[in-house]
Structures are given as C-alpha cells and as structure tokens.
Structure 1
Amino acid sequence: MSNKDSRGDKALSDEIRKAGYTIAEFCKETGISKAALYEYMAGAKEPTASKLLIMSKTLKIPLKGIFEMLGFEIAGVPDDQ
C-alpha cells in the first residue's frame, strides 16, 4: 500500500489536537517517536499495522480514518461494521 498523498501532516495533527493531545503527549501515549510520527504524516515512512491500530484506539476513530488521514488510497475498502 503506497502513501503518496502527504495531506496526513495537517489531518492527523488536527485530529490529535481535537482528541486533546499535543504531539508530544500523543507520542508518549502511543509509544510512537515524534520522528516516526512526522515521517508517517509526511508520507516518508509507512506505519506498521500495530502502530496504525494504536493510533486508531488512542484517537478513538476508525482504522479506515487513520489510513485516510495518512493519505492511503482507501477506495473499495469496506467501512467498519
């Protein structure tokens, strides 16, 4: 799965703030380094499935939403049931 759209920078950081976290707090809560998070948001690195899951659980949003915020192509992916 390729992450070619770098819109994740603003979308994910906005969602982190909406959930009441600073970037540093979110990273501490999830165990994701700030460097890795910024690489995910810039599209320079793809997060592992476990990192995607922890982001989804921490932000309390569907996993599909995390994929979308990070710029992954999600056309045809079923919605969570």
Structure 2
Amino acid sequence: MKDKADSHPLSDLAYDWITLMQNKAQALVAYDQYIKDAQAANSPECEAFFRKVHDADKAQLEEAKQHLVAVLQGKMGSSPKK
C-alpha cells in the first residue's frame, strides 16, 4: 500500500515550477497587449520598456522549463526526509 504522502502525482517543487511558468506565460500575453497600447499611444519609450520586461520574462520562462524537466526527472530536488 502506498504511503499517504505518495498520493499526489506532483511534488510541491514541481507544482511551484508549473505555477511559476503559468504566471510567466500569462504575463507574456499581457505584455503583448501593453506593447500594442504603447504603439497606439505613439510612445516608443513605453514600448521599449514593455519589450524589455517581456524579453526578460520569456527568458525566465525558458529557464524555468529546464528546471521543471530536471525536477520531474528527479535530477533536481529530493523528497523531504521523514
């Protein structure tokens, strides 16, 4: 019989990475709209800043994917000791 702690298919750490990735992905969609709004307002300074933030979050999302894969493969993190 499985231990009660094994009843969840994802560790807390894997869940955290998935949640972070979801938030970053949603932010990218929002930044795309902010960029369009800045273009419509003829504000290249605002557009440049929104692109900068977008690109930083996109890079972080790519890195987060690598971490999630490592966590799911058991190469990063470990189960808490009991």
- TM-score between the two structures when normalised by the length of structure 1: 0.28
Which structure carries more helix by proportion? 2
- TM-score between the two structures when normalised by the length of structure 2: 0.28
Structure number with the bigger relative contact order (C-alpha 8 A, sep ≥ 6) is 1
